Structure 1
Amino acid sequence: MNLPDPLLIDLRKVQGFDESSFQKAHDEPVTTSVRLHPIKRSGTDISGDAIPWSNGGIYLAQRPVFTLDPAFHGGAYYVQEASSMFLEHVWNSTVPQTEGLRVLDLCAAPGGKSTLIASLLTNDSLLISNEVIRARATILEENIVRWGYTNNWVTCNDPRDFTKLGGYFDVIVIDAPCSGSGLFRKDQNALRDWTEANVDLCSARQQRILADVWPALKENGLIIYATCSFSPQEDEDILDWIANEYKTETVPVSIRDEWGIVETRSPKHKMHGYRFFPGKAKGEGFFISAIRKKESASTLFLRRAKAADMSKIKQQAGHLLANDNLQYIQPDKESYNAIAAAHEADWQLLQKLFYFRRAGLPLGAPSAKDWIPAHDVALSIDANLSLPAIDVTREQALKFLKREDMNLDSAARGWQIIKFNNLGLGWIKSLQNRANNHLPKNWRIRMEIPET
């Protein structure tokens, strides 16, 4: 692989850079890794060597066809690059509080870091996963649904929209849009499109994003900043920029020598950052830093208004849920959702300010004869385990995911969850002579299933 000379020249100034091993690593195969769901992981037999900085992260010996694994569709694991899982170690090292947090994943698509964070939070914490690009927000929402956490909401807003939330968030994670040099091994387009001008453009964009969301962070709150770029202009130089603009400090984390991660310090303010160089760490290019806000911030007062009477909806849809500590809301005229009771005031505030793709757990809507359950319920960790379900074979599961005839011998009439290895995949409605597949059409597998 012919790496750009200007990038190599910049990296020669960076602590821990070994040009020989770096060049060699870019001619070697990419490692595939996944992160197991803390609750659903029993639904898969996928296995491999443990990733040392992530609980549930594993390296795979070879890359399977994930599309043809029903356990992937049921959320038993998430396909995520190993280096980016280091967020978990940074989180555990720098976020002492475990309850009642408000967290923003600002540039969240496709969802790797959001699903990781959701796994670390308690039920009374709230995670807002935001993506400004609508097409990418669709992918983000699908992955959040698969992961199944009610306290993970999805918005589609520009970072500047969060400026008005003074001191609202305890933690803001910014996996910033970048020039993508850390992805050269995985994506030839990233190498083809890389230019020095784009590095400068991305650096300016990263500064704007940080400035936009800074007011929304509490005093002593954390910004966890990350890129998949090697360029110092997008990494250490950004740390110096934020130290120039605001009163901050970085929070160092402990690392082990055998991990191969390089701790660096920014040139001017000596802010801590952590770099992943292929050839040293077992993963792709990555940079991350934890930045603490050391200046006062306005405090947003949450005024809780009287909630609408949802007793009728609870009577109709309550059977779907195993968690009684949920509040019912109506995000639009045609559907109903469940949120944690602790987040009712948050919903009353945020619905006026942001465009929501998903708030809490969509439950569906009533019809003339029964309740039509939302697809999300079938994959939710808060779903009632006593809901009618049909356990299917791998072949039947794939046919369901292609919206084809599963050849079910018999099924009780009514709504049924299709399950594979006890993982919910979606709903069917069994009628007298047939079963209607209610998998959303945009979730359908489009590739051919090999004959077995």
Structure 2
Amino acid sequence: MSEIDSYLKNNDSLLYTYRITPDIKRIAEKYGFLDYMVERYLEFLGEGTEDFLSSCSVPLTKSIRCNSLKIDCGKLEKRLTDKGFSLKRIEWSRFGYRVEKVPPRPTLGATVEYMKGFYYIQGEASMIPPEVLSPKEGELVLDMASSPGGKTTHMAQLMNNRGTIVALEKNPARLRKIRSNISRLGVSNVVLLWMGGEDVPKLGIEFDKILLDAPCSGEGLIPLDPSRKTKTKPEDLKNFQRTQLTLLASGFKVLKRGGYMVYSTCSIAPEEDEVIVDFAVKYLGMRVEKIQGIPGERGLTSFKGLSFSPELTQCLRIYPHLQHMEGFFVCLLRKE
């Protein structure tokens, strides 16, 4: 039995046993969520559960990332303001703006500036992983699950198109989308490979930094997609867990000693977040590094009878009812 199989088997009975009370059923019905989801939220959100559930029906403020590879951000701000948009700089982001007002026409995706690649429409929380990884000019960086290319092109921008990003995607249709974004945004330092992240050790390359924005349930995207209130079943979470652990282990093999990996998901599910990072700490010997200057809640140290490493408090949890962004989880790991 592999370490991953053993880890999953040891945790399975605790993670996937649910105690659904009449009160849980009432709350789930009130907000249109599945019972088991509410049971979990009550454990790690406590009194904030209904605030979270309610916030999932409130539209989020749109956001964009100015593409400094093609335009000065001050000039972009003026051009969009002249068109009737109202922008506010995101305090912790080097290139991010909240779009607080949108004119009747044009839409964000139909401006000349958008078509020229002067900006990328990107959720605010999804800008966090590249900022945390902070790739530098000249580094060799791996993006293990790169579609649709928002974080890939963000990292290229942070690197000023210098150094190399190896971006992986195993879905041919998604590859076309990434190529389109890379071209539109003027990115020139990305090597795009038709490959799944689990196969990356076959390349025989070691990387300075790795972004693993893992495939997940998208449980943090409910404000953007209400169907996710009832879409993911416990069996789906189990499948995502196995994929996430497999990708993490593969990434660990090709990360240089002393190198950094950001593990992130657009999910608030501990099964996909702390459970995965705890494996990195306890089985792979990775260390969790503190994330500075970005708003968020601390990672969990326990869930459904499982105890996680105290280091996980240095991970970031993002919630729509607290940070007013899509739900996200971000953790910075170092290979010793």
Q: TM-score range by the shorter chain?
A: 0.7 to 0.9
TM-score (norm 2): 0.79
- How far residue 226 of structure 1 moved from its aligned partner, in angstroms, is 0.5
**5 Å matches for 1:134-153?**
134-153=172-191
The aligned residue for residue 336 of structure 1 is none
Instruction: Indicate which of 277, 287, 291 corresponds to 2:329.
Output: 287
Q: What's the CA shift string for 1:166-185, capped at 9, x where partnerless?
A: 56101110110101111111
Superposed CA deviations along residues 113-168 of structure 1, whole A, max 9, x for unmatched, are 11111111144411112211111111111111111121122111011321134561
CA distance in 1, matches of 2:333, 2:191: 24
The 1-side partners of 2:100 and 2:188 are apart by: 33
> CA 1:104 to 1:229, structure 2 compared with 1: closer, same or farther past 3 Å?
same
2:146 is paired with a residue whose SS is: coil
Q: For the residues of structure 1 that align with 2:33 and 2:234, how far apart are their CA atoms? A: 13
Given that residues 103 and 171 in structure 1 are in contact (C-alpha distance below 8 angstroms), is that contact kept between their aligned partners in structure 2? yes
Aligned to 1:68: 110
Q: 2:119 aligns with which of 65, 69, 77?
A: 77
1:17/1:55 CA distance change after superposition, 3 Å: farther
Give 1:28 deviation, angstroms: 1.2
Indicate the SS of the match to 1:12.
Answer: helix
Matched, 1:29 2:71: no
Identity %: 29
Distance, in Å, in 2 between the alignment partners of 1:235 and 1:158 is: 20
In the alignment, residue 58 of structure 1 is paired with which amino acid? Y
- Indicate if the aligned counterparts of 1:163 and 1:214 stay in contact, CA closer than 8 A: no
| Residue 277 (structure 1) aligned with residue 319 (structure 2) | yes
Task: Answer yes or no: is the 8 Å Cα contact 1:54–1:88 preserved in 2.
Answer: no
Distance in 2 (alpha carbons) for counterparts of 1:232 and 1:265 = 8
Contact 2:156 2:162 survives alignment (8 Å)? no
**Which residue of 144, 162, 168 maps to 2:206?**
168
In structure 2, what residue type is equivalent to 1:247? G
Q: Deviations over 1:11-33 (max 9, x none)?
A: 33337872132122112122211
SS in 2 for 1:61: strand
Q: How many residues align?
A: 287
Partner residue, 2:287: 249
Going from structure 1 to structure 2, the CA distance change for 1:255 and 1:99 (only over 3 Å counts) comes to: closer
| Corresponding residue to 1:213 among 247, 251, 265 | 251
Aligned to 1:119: 157
Which residue is equivalent to 1:87?
A: 129
Aligned to 2:260: 222
Alpha carbons 1:262, 1:275 under 8 Å: kept: yes
**Which residue, 263, 267, 289 being the options, matches 2:298?**
263
Matched AA of 1:14: F
Query: CA 1:140–1:17 in structure 2 vs 1: closer, same or farther (change >3 Å)?
Result: farther
What secondary structure sits across from 1:171 in the alignment?
strand
Q: Which amino acid aligns with 2:179?
A: E
Match of 1:51 among 83, 90, 95: 90
Query: After superposition, what is the alpha-carbon deviation per residue over 1:17-75, rounded to whole angstroms, capped at 9, x for unaligned?
Result: 72132122112122211010114233562241111221121111245623421211111
- Give RMSD over aligned pairs: 2.1
Kindly provide the amino acid, as one letter, of the partner of residue 41 in structure 2: L
Residue 204 of structure 1 pairs with residue 239 of structure 2: no
The 1-side partners of 2:223 and 2:184 are apart by: 28
- 1:389-421 CA distances to partner (integer Å, 9 max, x unpaired)? xxxxxxxxxxxxxxxxxxxxxxxxxxxxxxxxx
State the AA in 2 paired with 1:288: V
Task: Give the match's secondary structure for 1:164.
Answer: helix
By relative contact order (CA 8 Å, sep 6+), the higher-ranking structure is: 2
d(CA) in 2 for partners of 1:227 and 1:17? 24
Structure with the higher fraction of residues in helix conformation = 2
2:198 and 2:50 mapped to 1: Cα distance?
A: 42
**Alpha-carbon distance in structure 1 between the residues aligned to 2:110 and 2:145:** 28
Instruction: Give the aligned residue type for 1:278.
Output: P
Query: Quick check: 1:11–1:230 contact (8 Å CA) kept in 2?
Result: no
Counterpart secondary structure, 1:218: strand
* Letter matched to residue 60 of structure 1: V
Task: Give 1:193 shift.
Answer: 1.8
